Amino acid sequence: MGTEIRTFYSLKEVAEYVAGQIDEYKSLYEDYSQWLGSLLRDSDDPGKLAALKRDMQSSAKKNQGTKQAQRKSQDKSKNEQGSHWIEVGGTLLCSTEQGEAEILFEAIEEINRKTQSLEKFKSTLQQIERIGPGKSVNYITYIKDDIPDKIVIKSKITGQTDETFNFAAEFTAQGLEH
């Protein structure tokens, strides 16, 4: 869904959600990797796609700015490489194998970033479990770009706070920059 607020009724339920997301992203990673491998093997110009692979991997390591700065950098590098991207209404269009390979590389990078963020959040859940919020709480979770970002721990008993546990914190699980 991308962005949502979701209530979980136990820490186990949150962990199951995160495990499901990780499995889904790993499956997508495998599918896109196979697609990309097939594209690279069957390409009319394998040298050009291999060079693209090197460029994409090195640019992933160099790009440390915001998403907007990264997109501008990627757009600039696409233009410098002489690719056939054209902008239509804020969307880039291309009809080449190189363009197909570029979006596969970008998707794989993003999937890796999200998987790492989910793994980091999974370890955060283990820390919360050690704190022991109890069984009488709900976990109202803000999910941003498919990654749990913040949790509000709220008593299941309406209008009362749990006397044994009073906790307020902001959790941020951000992806590691490449």
Domain count along the chain:
1
Domain boundaries, position 140: 4-155
Residue 102 pLDDT > 60: yes
Whether 120 maps to a domain, the answer reads: yes
Whether 8 maps to a domain, the answer reads: yes
List own/partner pairs for 18-27 with CB under 8 A and 24 or more apart.
Answer: 18/118, 18/121, 18/122, 18/125, 18/148, 19/122, 21/114, 21/118, 21/146, 21/147, 22/115, 22/118, 22/119, 22/122, 25/111, 25/114, 25/115, 25/118, 26/115
Whether 174 maps to a domain, the answer reads: no
pLDDT at position 162 is 46
Whether 121 maps to a domain, the answer reads: yes
Whether 25 maps to a domain, the answer reads: yes
For the chain, first and last CA: distance in Å?
A: 25
Beta-bridged to residue 5, according to DSSP, are 142
pLDDT tier, 174 (very low <50, low <70, confident <90, very high otherwise) = low
Mean pLDDT, residues 79-83 taken together? 50
Residue 66 pLDDT > 50: no
pLDDT at position 110 is 95
Q: Say how far apart CA 61 and CA 177 lie, in whole Å.
A: 8
User: Which tens digit of pLDDT belongs to each residue from 110-162?
Assistant: 999 999 999 999 999 988 888 877 788 999 999 999 999 999 999 887 655 54
Whether 166 maps to a domain, the answer reads: no
* pTM for this prediction: 0.69
Whether 161 maps to a domain, the answer reads: no
Residue 73 pLDDT > 80: no
pLDDT at position 156 is 81
Q: Say how far apart CA 110 and CA 118 lie, in whole Å.
A: 12
